[in-house]
Structure 1
Amino acid sequence: MRRSEFLRAVEAEFQGRAASLVDDLVLSAIGTTAAEALDAGVPPREIWLALCAETDVPLERRHGVGRLEPRRR
């Protein structure tokens, strides 16, 4: 998962709360906010899974979110 995919996934899942969750919610599995973890180089997939666990996102919505379909040539 890339940073852009992470941000799309957060926006898709949390909509209006996305920015505040990324900036303000300290993820217990990581010990920082998602924004701080991204800046520190923590893999976005790890942050996504920690955010999902912290906010009780159902398992079926945790995989593959945020990914764009490949471009057609």
Structure 2
Amino acid sequence: MRRSEFLRAVDEEFGGRATALTHDLVLSSVNMTALDALDAGVPPRDIWLALCDETDVPAERRYGVGRLEPRRR
């Protein structure tokens, strides 16, 4: 997962709460906010899964999110 995919996934899953969650919620597994973790070099997938754990996102909505559909040739 890339940073852009992470940000897209957060926006799609949390909508209007996305900014507050990434700025204010301290993720217990990394002991910092999602944005601080990104800046510290924590892999976006690890941050995404930590955010999902903290906010009880169901397993079926955790994988493959944030990706754009492949381009057609």
TM-score tier, shorter chain, comes to: over 0.9
Determine the C-alpha separation between the residues in 2 that align with 1:27 and 1:9: 17
> C-alpha displacement at 1:10, in angstroms?
0.2
Tell me how far 1:42 sits from its aligned partner. Answer: 0.4
> What is the alpha-carbon distance in structure 1 between the residues aligned to residue 71 and residue 60 of structure 2?
25
CA deviations over 1:11-42 (Å, ceiling 9, x no partner)? 00000000010000000011000000000010
Identity %: 77
List gaps (5 residues or longer) in structure 2.
none
Whole-Å separation in 2 of the counterparts to 1:30 and 1:56? 17
Alpha-carbon distance between aligned partners in 1 of 2:59 and 2:70, rounded to the nearest angstrom: 24
Name the structure 2 match of 1:65: 65
Q: 2:52 corresponds to which letter in structure 1?
A: C
Q: Which residue of 1 aligns with 2:33?
A: 33
**Where does residue 50 of structure 1 map in the other structure?**
50
Partners of 1:41 and 1:69 in 2: CA distance: 26
Runs of 4+ in 1 over 2 A off after TM superposition: none
Give the aligned CA root-mean-square deviation in angstroms.
Answer: 0.5
